[in-house]
Amino acid sequence: MRSADIIESIYRTTNAAREELRFLIENRDEESTQLLCGLARKRAVEHYGNKIFVRALIEMTNYCRNDCLYCGIRKSNKNAQRYRLTKEDIMECCSEGYSLGFRTFVLQGGEDMYYTDDIMTDIVASIRAEYPDCAITLSLGEKPRESYQRLFDAGANRYLLRHETADPEHYGMLHPAELSLANRMECLRDLKEIGYQVGAGMMVGSPYQTVGNIVTDLLFIKDFAPHMVGMGPFIPHHDTPFAHEKTGSAELTLFLLALVRLMNPKVLLPATTALGTVKGNGREMGVLAGCNVVMPNISPMSVRRKYMLYDNKLNADTETEAAYESVKSSMKAIGYEVVCDRGDYKK
- Kindly tell me which of 3 and 248 has the beta carbon lying closer to ligand SAM: 248
Q: Which of 28-36, 125-133, 158-166, 254-262 is the region at the interface with ligand SAM (rule: CB under 6 A)? A: 158-166
C-beta of residue 208 within 8 angstroms of C-beta of residue 222: no
Our CB check for ligand SAM shows the closer of 67 and 92 to be 67
Which of 7, 166, 235, 254 is close enough to bind ligand SAM by CB under 6 A? 235
Interface residue with ligand SAM, options 53, 310, 324, 336 (CB under 6 A): 310
Q: Decide if residue 297 touches ligand SAM (CB under 6 A).
A: no
Distances (CA, A) of 174 to 1, 51, 219, 307: 34, 36, 20, 20
Q: 174 vs 331, which CB is nearer to ligand SAM?
A: 174
Chosen residue from 32, 60, 97, 141 binding ligand SAM by CB under 6 A: 141
With both helix axes pointing from N to C terminus, report the angle between 18-26 and 3-13 in degrees, rounded to the nearest 10. 130
Q: Who's near 220: CB < 8 A, 6+ residues apart?
A: 163, 166, 200
Applying CB under 6 A, which part among 210-218, 231-239, 317-325, 331-339 lies near ligand SAM? 231-239
C-alpha span between 139 and 64 (Å, rounded): 13
Residue 110 and residue 63 in contact, taking contact as beta carbons nearer than 8 Å: yes
**Residue type (1 letter), 323:** A
Element (H, E) at 119: helix 117-130
Residue 264 CB, shortest distance to ligand SAM, in Å, is 18
Scanning residues 270 to 289, which ones bind ligand SAM (CB under 6 A)? Answer: 274
Q: Between 139 and 197, whose beta carbon lies closer to ligand SAM?
A: 139
Q: State how far the alpha carbon of 257 is from the alpha carbons of 23, 26, 214, in Å.
A: 16, 16, 12
Q: How many CA atoms are closer than 13 Å to the CA of 68, on its beta-carbon side?
A: 26
Identify each DSSP E strand in 62-189 by its residue range: 104-109, 135-139, 158-160
Using CB under 6 A, which residues numbered 85 to 114 contact ligand SAM? 108, 110-111
Candidates 270, 271, 295; CA nearest to 283 is: 271
- Applying the rule CB under 6 A, the residues between 26 and 85 that interact with ligand SAM are 70-71
Least distance (Å) between residue 163 CB and ligand SAM:
9
Residue count, binding to ligand SAM (CB under 6 A): 19
Q: Which of the ranges 13-21, 168-176, 232-240, 320-328 carries the binding residues for ligand SAM, by CB under 6 A?
A: 232-240
Helix axes 18-26, 250-263, angle to 10 degrees: 150
Question: Closest distance between ligand SAM and the C-beta of residue 129, in Å?
Answer: 25
Find the part of the chain contacting ligand SAM (CB under 6 A) among 8-16, 99-107, 143-151, 228-236: 228-236
Among 234, 255, 324, 336, binds ligand SAM (CB under 6 A): 234
Least Cα distance to 305 among 33, 62, 121, 86 occurs for 62
**198-227 positions binding ligand SAM, by CB under 6 A:** 203
Give min distance, CB of 161 to ligand SAM, in A.
5
Cβ(155)–Cβ(125) below 8 Å: yes
Of 162-201, binders to ligand SAM (CB under 6 A) are: 162, 164
Q: What are phi and psi of 304, to 5 degrees?
A: -55, -45
Instruction: Enumerate binding residues for ligand SAM (CB under 6 A).
Output: 70-71, 108, 110-111, 139-141, 161-162, 164, 203, 232, 234-235, 237, 274, 309-310
